[in-house]
Structure 1
Amino acid sequence: MIEQGDKAPSLTIATTDGQTIDLASPGGKLVLYFYPKDDTSGCTREAQDFTALADEFAAAGARVVGVSRDSAKSHDKFIAKYDLKVPLAVDEGSLSEAFGTWVEKSMYGRKYMGMERATYLIGADGTVLRAWRKVKVPNHAGEVLKAAQGS
């Protein structure tokens, strides 16, 4: 599990907008938010909240990227359906494993593995400036924006 002050893992991610980002040296502030599934209520609200604040994140010098284990095709449909302005990245497992967001969950007594909603603010040098675990969607994007503006 990665915490504040740790170095981001030395991984490269590709985003739906054609960018490649080296997490160990992202070249500017990076907000990486992990979410369970495209086109579900909480995940849609979170993506819309980050989209609504996209210009303010850019003004603060921060890129925002959403991460789930959904396919690139699913991401493209999700972006088009809700006119999202933040790119998404497909995680084939290594990213969520490295950040500790692939966890055991339980629903109706059934245990299964799934993505924990979490967000990381990573500095230009790859240091994790803030970490939010077990995120609740309401007001979260605004809280992350304040942290990005203050760092």
Structure 2
Amino acid sequence: MSDTVSLSPGDQSPDFSVTDQEGKVHNLSDYTTQGKQVILYFYPKDSTPGCTTQACDFRDNMARFVTEGYVVLGVSKDSSASHGRFVEKQELNFPLLVDEDLSLHHAFGTWRLKKNYGREFMGCSRSTFVIDSDGALAWCRYNVKAKGHVDMLMRELSLND
């Protein structure tokens, strides 16, 4: 898939305006205007084991992210109803953005060719982007593992105590 976007640190982040599980609109420009840094993470599916592990790791470390001026936003192609159930069941303390048309996935290059047991298919590559308050990508990584990802991200951002 040569037309898949691959972003790197220093690149300008794609702008976005997307609704969350409650229908609230999240604009990147609103966050950057407020001087916030955004952690935008893409995951394949609500309520699956790996995605639950990752979401709960973000939830459990939210105080540290907020203290350091970060906003965490999760993104998948699931519906707002599915996101709502996931947030409620796992008591998530951050919004999940709805991207049913995959426009955000395509803008960030996270909808990619995947291989599983010899079968090739298009799907979400678990990926994370850290967007500085100037709208540039401070850090990004494609194909991250669910388990241990938040700890690794916190080390990369020097947020460990």
TM-score, normalising length from structure 1?
A: 0.91
Residue 105 of structure 2 aligns to a residue whose secondary structure is helix
Paired residues of 1:15 and 1:65 also in contact (CA < 8 A)? no
1:41 & 1:25 partners in 2: Cα distance?
A: 32
Check if 1:116 corresponds to 2:125.
yes
1:13 is matched with 18
Runs of 4+ aligned structure 1 residues displaced above 6 Å come to none
Distance 2:64 2:22 in 1: 19
CA contact (8 A) 1:24 1:125 kept: no
Matched, 1:23 2:28: yes
Instruction: Give the aligned CA root-mean-square deviation in angstroms.
Output: 1.7
Q: CA deviation at 1:106?
A: 1.9
Q: Which residue of 1 aligns with 2:75?
A: 67
What is the TM-score of this pair, normalised by structure 2? 0.85
Deviation at 1:148, TM superposition (A): 4.2
What percent identity do the matched residue pairs reach?
38
CA distance in 2, matches of 1:77, 1:25: 26
Q: How does 1:123-142 map to 2 (within 5 A)?
A: 123-142=132-151
The answer to whether the Cα contact below 8 Å between 1:31 and 1:122 also exists between their aligned partners in 2 is yes
Q: Which amino acid aligns with 2:104?
A: L
> Shift of residue 82 of structure 1?
1.1
1:83-113, Cα deviation, whole Å (9 max, x unpaired): 1112100112110001110011122222211
Is the CA contact 2:50–2:147 (under 8 Å) kept in the aligned structure 1? no
Q: Do residues 99 (structure 1) and 104 (structure 2) align?
A: no
Deviation at 1:129, TM superposition (A): 0.3
Flag structure 2 segments of 5+ consecutive residues without an equivalent. Answer: 1-5
Name the aligned partner's letter for residue 130 of structure 1: W
- For the pair 1:88 / 2:96, whether they are aligned, the reply is yes
Matches within 5 A, 1:26-37: 26-27=31-32, 28-37=36-45
> Structure 1: where are the runs of 5+ without partners?
none
